Structure 1
Amino acid sequence: MKTKILFFIIFISIVISCNNKSTSIELSTSTSNLHLNVNSEITDTTNIASEETSKKIELNFFSEQLDNTKGLSNSSVNTIFQDSDNLLWVGTWDGLNRFDGTNFKIFRPELNNEKSLSNQVILKIAEDNSGLIWILTMGGINSYHKKSNTFQRYNFLRKNKFTLSESEFNMASDGSRIIFCAVKYWGIGYFDGKEFLKIGVKNLPASSVKRMSFSSTGELLLLFENNELFSLEVETKESGKKIISKVKLLSEQIREFDTFPSGAICMNTIDGDVFIYTLSDHKKQKLSLTNVQKIVGHTDSGIVLYDKFEYFSIDTEGNISKQSWFEHLKKQELITLIQGSENVIWIGTDGDGLLKIYPHRKSFNLISEKNVSEFDVGIVRAFAEAKGKSFFVGTKGKGLFKFPSNFYLNAKTPLSYEVFNDDNSGIDNSVFSLFNGQDELMFVGTDGEGISVFDLKKSKLINWTEILDSELYDYFKSVYAIYQDANGVIWLGTNGY
């Protein structure tokens, strides 16, 4: 006899009831009838850990080198940036590189093409609120339009007058991803969507800006060639025009700086000392560090610095630590680093190209009979999550398993679960399908009669014979597929009914 798959409709207006029928089976949820196992552990679940949990787990890191033999335009890297499309942009001493995870696309100036880069030396990269990619070169500021694959040059009335200085131009984006610039002999300005508008500001040095950045609290930070670090408060008028409302000299003799998410600033002096400066109260804390040569960049763990011998990181409280991935930094001279998506550390070196340092995790991890004794011979046929409540697993021969929704997040936490089978709840031991439906109902398809429903509000399993008016429907069993549409209609796929 040919097996047929038939579909029929059950409306959501079916009322689930356990008490209105004399033939109802009383569902017992006592601990004597439900198997509760709190002694089992998941041995390794780091691959699916949440961001918060993953920070607590010590990871093994691997490294990969990408240089000019792998398609990078030049092995001396000045800057790295990852845009909103997760494309990696790498600025070198000879060209701009776009990396899609497999291949590099190289951009360089083109003769007689005004829509190409203004200079091949790439110093900084950013993205604005319209999706334009901004490139700071030794010869000026450029924007890149992804759709048209063209560049626009902004030379600030310095037509064809390029420079061999790295600091005649600089730029930074604020918290709203508006691009600001600092140009020698022109001043400070911002891009209004069409052009750069100059902002009048007094009491600043006449020398070039060698580093420019915004704090997380909105201050524009400028480090000049004379090693003076200034803070500028930017104010937006009702007209939309931006002005500088306050200028403050934060410190002198500063070689480099970087910012913490808290708004504090890490300062490295020309003498090799390190300070943490708090903008809110203008307090300056000196750390017990000496001979610090360089601020390389920052990750979620803190700002990475280098003295004459090793790399280390500091947090906003001044705590000093060494990350496990630092072991990959023994030979290269680092210029810059960022933490990209998926916790990948991208590092630019002087002569060794780009380093990719990434955490190693298994693609899959196993929950087996070591964790759940009933899985010794059970075959998993279906699973579904009621987000924030429970994770259900249907098996062939062992019934329905109910785990906490976050059971896979903590490897060291004992795994608890409940088992529903024909011994303790009347559900058939062969579960074929699961669907998380509306009204906090989990629909369960089995090899038994009808369908079962788990009421998440009451934490109670309800079988077909306990559902009001279920006898009005034709006999069916072996539900292999369940779906509930937007109108609340439940569609079932059965084997031969």
Structure 2
Amino acid sequence: MYKHLLLLLATVIALQVAAQKQSKQYFHFTRYTQANGLSSTSVNCTFQDAKGFIWVGTADHLERFDGSKFVYISARGTHTMPNDAVTQIIGVNDSMLLLNYGVLREFGIFNTKSYTYTPIKIIHKQAIWPRADYVVQTDHRGNIFLRITRYANILIYNRKKFQFEELGPVKAPYNWTINSMFIDTAKHRYWLSCDSGLAVYDVATKRVYSKHYNPMGWKVLAQKRLNEANVTMHIDHKQRYWIVNWPIYGGGSPILHCYDAERNIYLKDTAGWAASAIRYREVGNITETNDGILWFYGLNTLLSYLPFEQGIALHYSKHLDNYGIRYEGVRHVMEDRERGIWVSTDDGLYYAAAINYNLLNIGLSDGLEATAITPIADSTFLLNTWGSGIKLIQLKQDNLSIKNITDEKQHRNLAMNWFAAFVNTKEIWIGAQFGWLGIYNVAKQQLQEKYIPETQGKTIRSIIKTNDGVVYLGTQGGTIIKYTNKAYTTLFQCGTIIYQILADKQGYLWVATHDKGLYRIDSKSGKIVKHYTKSATAGLYMNVLSKLIGSMIIH
């Protein structure tokens, strides 16, 4: 059992607590921006195709992500693709994507095999509001619908004619404005959130029902508080109604309801909703994952509902770190086939791996984040944190104990520490902020702190000991410091963050940096043997290299 837990804990390189103290954080986000090859940090949507590629709609055009690089997409043939914002990507079949150019109000079909683009016509009988938004949705039968703001009817896509038409039966009651549509695939119903309440088209009866016409006696339509200024809704796998509206009694703020129609009761699973409002917000979308996790998002909002927590948690980092997420607008949330979460925002594309329910999640009571974890023995680990010192974790059968080994008086300079590594069988060295080094004696369980002048006051980000017994320190300021014969000397300087140092069998050091690519340097002289950059090296897709694992590079 200890070996199993050791393996699980050793793979966890960072633990993070929630933005709010009352809730835990289960998602750690990786951010993709122009530094990673995206054309723009303004990202609107994503879609995963049958081959596993992630297609990304940015403020500029369509791009494809293969797991390592982003590729700009342009069309061949008669029709050219617009160089404008792609606001939605919908899969038509295994080789065709429907693209929504929302600003231009243009749609087209992009063939991923032939790389050709075919424009789509919109056939409408009524006048369209000049400021209308165009939103596309699909149902379980493969139908593709077009919803237009302040337009009474839902249009349907004709695949043969490459056009949207007013042939669909789904429409709102007279003089109602549709704000969003939810498709209930289990009961074959199309729910419309409208300015005047909820409306639903039932496939079996081929009729539209609302609070004004409810011969079936559906309880959700009879609830007054659920049928006023409706924005969006979702029916989850437990058949609970999640409804967001702006009722008069809400005092000018959106209200979230969780309603159990079968028992005719309002559930308390919305706990945390009010507290999660950090500023003015608009919640216009709800997405449910295969794990039953709900995501609520829109302007100034990204919230999640975890079934095992039974409450709403906010995802937002005021000061962006390595694992948080920052935004003003969240435009799309997608779950991929590996159950990872892709979040499209105005401040980049974010990815969070699926929750591993077998991992041991350690919460830090003071609300600060952990940065690394180092196995010491079969059931003992050293935990680095950024703000709450160094902690010793011990597993005894099914019990977990966490002990803070940093004393506020003796080790005040080690409160913010980044990385730890064995330098011999007895000592672990710990890199900390402002050029401080922690030295932990494993046998005696004693810790001391030491300032390294050669760091010039910069955080020690990487520590490595080579086979010849030499220790190398990499800093936030781009310096590599060599420790040998009880002396510290400056070996190398690159002027940017050094994320990691590795040594190869030939005695060379490989240095992963923030924005200057990868260096291979002579460990004795510090001279550059080879400098690998995006522009000069095939297969290197960016100059920000966060981690080296053997012969692998992680961007």
Give the alignment's TM-score, normalised by structure 1. 0.50
**Larger Rg over CA atoms:** 1
Name the structure, 1 or 2, with higher relative contact order (CA <8 Å, separation 6+): 1
TM-score after normalising by structure 2: 0.45
